[in-house]
């Protein structure tokens, strides 16, 4: 049998003009640098292979010269279908200059296309991308005027809209592993991620193409444990042993055994970070964290939420995930982004997106470059830059709760916190809240139509997507709406009743988030007054996120009612109360149970007209009397009219 162990130049010589190349990698991790540089070298020396199509899910490179930037030469590429463009600016310049055909598709879609191509399917059906720039009613994912062919189509199945993604076969796959035996079986024991390597190899092999693997060492045939084989040798045509400098675990780290899961690292000592605008934003976003939830934090500013969680000692209540395939543990930042330590599991990238697209995320915290009056967000193309959506569309469209984070203005913003108040020292020169975003990466109306709660958190205020657009719901202490917010926006948000951002955010001391998330203060919020036979429920500022929150309320109320020994009247304070959409049924069932067994009457009050209307609608729809008053006195008077006594302080 011909040996599969060849040099990089020998392997690259097999690539023909016009081939479609699929390349593995995730940001600065796991791409085949030796193969990509050899491909560039052959093209510059011979002018061949030319007119290639590049097929890449995640960004791959250092954003300068490495990774996919090796392919940024006129004539080498004819067409590029990529999920993220920001790591390959040399290729991006070809697209912006109309010198290649270029598409930007959701990263998760491309990951799943590899698997569908391997299975001989014509493409992929998905709702991911509906009503974004990927939708053919908008741009169809096309990047420039040179790109005229549609590869995304809108179809209807069983009365519902779907997108169908069609991309052709794969002729060459660049995959990567740690060890290969002489037959080409490949293990990945020192790799931080498994990515789409297996699916890509299958897609190429079943397209009658070739698979070229980059590894760091060779073993004798049958010298590797079969359970450790990630890419079977039957799929591999060539194996190239790379020099260590071209086979780093990440571009920032030659090798870290913890990234490979060889051991669990001890928890680092907590070092509190300064109260900057980034930390203020991360602290406010952390209030939305669902206890025991599965969460995705985007790159950049959202990473700060993990730091806040560590400072607040609530990391054990969360499961953080990364679209690269990590589940649990501590995600890495900076040049190691995509890797992590102390993980519970590492799965293939396409499997992670299956989980995300099916609604597996309880919360996503993502950045925002631009936002408009409809709550649309742009992170893919702005300021003359072609960044690409990456996994943003998959994640933001399907997570149960979405929190976008970013400074209110950019490019030069400076703030100070003094005595618990925020002060704008110097306003940023770049506006982020525009009349209309340059490109729709997230569609606010589509999210609202599907009852998805969406928040937009800045250092000075918080917005929520409501009926009619973006509503101001919180303002930082020290901030004046007419001075610091409205003049720095290109549109007028909905401004009605709004609250103040939690004062704890603007104090350097710990915020006590564990008690907040677990509702540990419930015993202090549920008080029985035996003289008037009234149970007072102070739910001010509470957030009912999951069914365990409803159960906690249920348990403490039942305990108080049993102690009373008779039916009680109930007054509930719902100021700044929030309940997730999918918890209304469980909450209403609790109300029905207590009305049947313990309560003589429930009256509720909330100063927010929006919340009164929302609660009233929810209770009416579930056949519960919708008595929600504006003031406590009105609620007490109503209860007194039904036989209760409203005298005395509450």
How confident is the model at residue 645, as a pLDDT? Answer: 42
Question: pLDDT grade, residue 626 (50/70/90)?
Answer: low
Q: Does the pLDDT at position 610 exceed 50?
A: yes
Q: What is the pLDDT of residue 622?
A: 62
pLDDT for 636 beyond 50: yes
pLDDT, position 580: 83
Identify the residue with better confidence: 223 or 399. Answer: 399
Coil vs helix vs strand at 20: strand
The confidence score (pLDDT) of residue 369 equals 95
Q: What is the pLDDT of residue 491?
A: 97
Residue 469 φ/ψ region, left for φ over 0, alpha for ψ in the -120 to 50 degree band, beta for the rest: left
CA torsion, ordered 297, 298, 303, 304, to nearest 10 deg: -90
- 323 a catalytic residue: yes
Residue 181: per-residue pLDDT: 95
Q: Using 50, 70 and 90 to split pLDDT, how confident is the model at 650?
A: very low
For 130-151, letters b (16+ CB in 10 Å) and e give: bbbbbbbebbbbbbbeebeeeb
Whether the per-residue pLDDT at 124 is higher than 90: the answer is yes
The 10s digit of each residue's pLDDT in 258-294 is 999 999 999 876 677 889 999 999 999 999 998 889 9
Residue 176: its pLDDT value, please? Answer: 98
Can you tell me the distance from the alpha carbon of 370 to that of 411, in angstroms, rounded to the nearest whole number? 13
Sign of the Cα pseudo-torsion (54, 59, 62, 64, in order): positive
Q: Read off the pLDDT band of 520 (50, 70, 90).
A: confident
What is the pTM (predicted TM-score) of this model? 0.88
Q: Which of 271-280, 327-336, 407-416 has the lowest mean pLDDT?
A: 271-280
Catalytic residue (choose from 323, 349, 474, 516): 323
């Amino acid at each position: 049998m011909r040996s599969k162990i060849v040099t990089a130049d020998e392997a690259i010589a097999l690539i023909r003009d016009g081939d479609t190349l699929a390349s593995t990698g995730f940001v600065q991790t796991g791409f085949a640098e030796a193969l990509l540089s050899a491909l560039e070298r052959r093209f510059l020396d011979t002018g061949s292979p030319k007119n290639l199509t590049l097929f890449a899910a995640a960004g791959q490179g250092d954003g300068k010269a490495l990774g996919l930037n090796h392919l940024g030469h006129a004539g080498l590429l004819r067409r590029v279908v990529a999920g993220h463009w920001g790591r390959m600016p040399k290729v991006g310049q070809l697209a912006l200059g109309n010198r290649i055909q270029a598409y930007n598709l959701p990263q998760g879609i491309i990951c799943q296309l590899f698997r569908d191509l391997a299975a001989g399917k014509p493409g992929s059906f998905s709702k991911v991308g509906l009503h974004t720039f990927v939708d053919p009613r908008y741009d169809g994912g096309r990047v420039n005027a040179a790109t005229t062919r549609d590869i995304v189509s809108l179809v209807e199945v069983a009365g519902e809209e779907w997108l169908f993604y069609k991309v052709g076969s794969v002729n060459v796959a660049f995959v990567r592993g740690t060890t290969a035996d002489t037959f080409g079986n490949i293990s990945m024991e020192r790799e931080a991620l498994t990515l789409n390597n297996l699916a890509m190899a299958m897609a190429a092999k079943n397209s009658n193409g070739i698979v070229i693997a980059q590894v760091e060492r060779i073993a004798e045939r049958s010298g590797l444990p079969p359970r450790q084989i990630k890419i079977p040798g039957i799929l591999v045509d060539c194996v190239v042993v790379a020099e260590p400098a071209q086979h780093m675990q990440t571009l920032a780290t030659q090798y870290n055994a913890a990234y490979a899961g060889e051991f669990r690292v001890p928890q680092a000592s907590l070092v509190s970070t300064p109260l900057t605008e980034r930390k203020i934003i991360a602290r406010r976003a952390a209030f939305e964290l669902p206890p025991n939830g599965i969460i995705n934090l985007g790159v950049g500013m959202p990473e700060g939420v993990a730091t806040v969680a560590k400072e607040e000692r609530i990391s054990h209540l969360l499961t953080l995930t990364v679209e690269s395939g990590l589940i649990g543990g501590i995600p890495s930042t900076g040049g190691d982004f995509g890797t992590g330590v102390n993980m519970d599991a590492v799965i293939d990238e396409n499997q992670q997106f299956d989980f995300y697209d099916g609604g597996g995320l309880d919360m996503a915290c993502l950045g925002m470059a631009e936002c408009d009056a409809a709550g649309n967000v742009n992170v893919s193309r702005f300021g003359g830059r072609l960044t690409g959506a990456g996994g943003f569309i998959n994640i933001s469209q399907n997570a149960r709760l979405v929190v976008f984070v970013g400074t209110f203005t950019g490019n030069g913003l400076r703030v100070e916190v003094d005595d618990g108040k925020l002060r704008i020292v110097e306003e940023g020169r770049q506006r982020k809240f525009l009349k209309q975003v340059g490109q729709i990466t997230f569609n606010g109306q589509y999210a609202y139509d599907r009852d998805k709660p969406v928040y937009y958190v800045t250092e000075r205020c918080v917005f929520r997507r409501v009926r009619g657009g973006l509503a101001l719901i919180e303002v930082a202490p020290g901030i004046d709406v007419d001075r610091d917010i409205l003049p720095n926006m290109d549109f007028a948000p909905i401004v009605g009743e709004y609250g103040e951002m939690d004062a704890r955010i603007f104090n350097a001391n710990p915020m006590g988030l564990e008690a907040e998330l677990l509702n540990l203060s419930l015993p202090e919020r549920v008080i029985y007054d035996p003289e008037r036979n009234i149970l007072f429920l102070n739910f001010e500022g509470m957030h009912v996120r999951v069914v365990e929150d409803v159960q906690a309320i249920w348990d403490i109320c039942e305990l108080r009612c049993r102690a009373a020994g008779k039916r009680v009247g109930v007054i509930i304070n719902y100021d700044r109360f929030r309940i997730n959409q999918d918890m209304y049924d469980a909450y209403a069932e609790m109300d029905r149970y207590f009305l049947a067994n313990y309560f003589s009457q429930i009256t509720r009050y909330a100063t927010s007209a929006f919340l009164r209307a929302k609660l009233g609608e929810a209770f009416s729809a579930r056949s519960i009397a919708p008595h929600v008053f504006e003031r406590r006195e009105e609620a007490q008077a109503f209860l007194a009219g039904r036989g209760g006594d409203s005298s005395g302080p509450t």
